[in-house]
Amino acid sequence: MKYPALASNPRVQLLSGLAKRSCNLWKVCVLMPLALLALAIGAFGIGTTEFVIMGLLPEVAGDFGVSIPTAGYLVTGYALGVMFGAPLMTVLGTKISRKRMLMLLMGLFVVGNLLSALAPAFGLMLAGRVVASLAHGAFFGIGSVVAADLVAPDKRAGAISLMFTGLTVANVVGVPLGTLVGQSLGWRVTFGIVAVLGVIGLLGVARLVPDMPGPQGVRLRHELAALKNVQVLLAMAMTVLGFGGVFAAITYIAPMMTHVAGFADGSVTWLLVLFGLGMVGGNLVGGKYADRALMPLLYVALGALAVVLALFTLTAHHKIAAAVTITLVGALGFATVPPLQKRVLDHAHGAPTLASALNIGAFNLGNALSAWLGGLVIAAGLGYTAPNWVGAVLAAAALALAVLSAGLERRERAAGTPAAGTVPAERPTVATH
pLDDT digits (tens, 9 = 90+) for 183-195: 889 999 999 999 9
Question: Residue 210, SS3?
Answer: coil
pLDDT at residue 222, as a whole number? 61
In the chain, domain spans: 28-214, 217-424
Which range is least confidently modeled, 16-30, 35-49, 354-368, 379-393? Answer: 16-30
Contacts of residue 24, Cβ cutoff 8 Å, sequence gap at least 6: none
Pick from 208, 42, 237: nearest CA to 138: 42
- Quickly name the fold that domain 28-214 has: Growth Hormone; Chain: A; (1.20.1250)
Does 28-214 match 217-424 in CATH topology?
yes
Residue 3: strand, helix, or coil? coil
Q: Write out pLDDT tens, residues 296-343.
A: 999 999 999 999 999 999 999 999 999 999 999 999 998 988 888 778
Cβ atoms of residues 250 and 329 within 8 Å: yes
Considering 4-18, 189-203, 285-299, the range whose residues carry the highest mean pLDDT is 189-203
- Supply the DSSP string of 316-375, one letter for each residue: TTSHHHHHHHHHHHHHHHHHTHHHHHHHHHHHTTTSHHHHHHHHHHHHHHHHHHHHHHHH
Range picked from 47-51, 108-112, 384-388 for highest mean pLDDT: 108-112
- The pLDDT assigned to 423 comes to 46
- pLDDT at res. 45: 92
211 φ, ψ (degrees, to nearest 5): -75, 105
The long-range contacts involving 30-35, CB below 8 angstroms and separated by at least 24 positions, are 31/208, 31/210, 31/432, 31/433, 32/150, 32/151, 34/208, 35/146, 35/150, 35/208, 35/209, 35/210
Return the pLDDT at 224.
65
Does 207 have pLDDT greater than 50? yes
> Which pTM does this prediction carry?
0.70
Cβ proximity of 280 and 165 under 8 Å:
yes
Which pLDDT tens digit goes with each residue over 343-366? 877 776 666 667 767 777 788 788
Residue 29 has pLDDT above 80, yes or no: no
Contact status, residue 114 vs residue 58, Cβ threshold 8 Å: no
- Per-residue pLDDT for 255 more than 60? yes
- The arithmetic mean of pLDDT across residues 388-406, rounded, is 93
> Residue 86 pLDDT more than 90?
no
Distance from C-alpha of 284 to C-alpha of 290, rounded to nearest angstrom: 10
- Per DSSP, the three-state class of 400 is helix
CA distance 51 to 49: 6
Residue 84 has pLDDT above 70, yes or no: yes
pLDDT at 64 over 80: yes
What's the burial of 411, exposed, middle or buried (CB within 10 Å: 0-12/13-18/19+)?
A: exposed
The span from the CA of 335 to the CA of 290, in Å, is 9
**pLDDT value of position 418:** 53
Counting beta carbons within 10 angstroms of the beta carbon of residue 187, is it exposed (0 to 12), middle (13 to 18) or buried (19 or more)? buried
pLDDT above 50 for 44: yes
> C-alpha angle with apex 121: 118 to 123, nearest 5 degrees?
105
Categorize the per-residue pLDDT at 8 as very low, low, confident or very high, splitting at 50, 70 and 90: low
**Confidence at 390, pLDDT banded by 50, 70, 90:** very high
Does 425 score more than 70 pLDDT? no
Phi–psi pair at 431, nearest 5 degrees:
-105, 105
The domain covering 217-424 belongs, at the CATH homologous superfamily level, to: MFS general substrate transporter like domains (1.20.1250.20)
pLDDT value at residue 271: 84
pLDDT at 398: 93
pLDDT of residue 349: 66
Indicate the range of 111-125, 137-151, 397-411 predicted with least confidence: 137-151
- Residue 380 scores a pLDDT above 60: yes
Asked if residue 359 lies in contact with residue 143, where contact means CB atoms within 8 angstroms, the answer is: no
Mean pLDDT over residues 250-265, rounded?
82
Q: Which residue has the higher pLDDT, 377 or 164?
A: 377
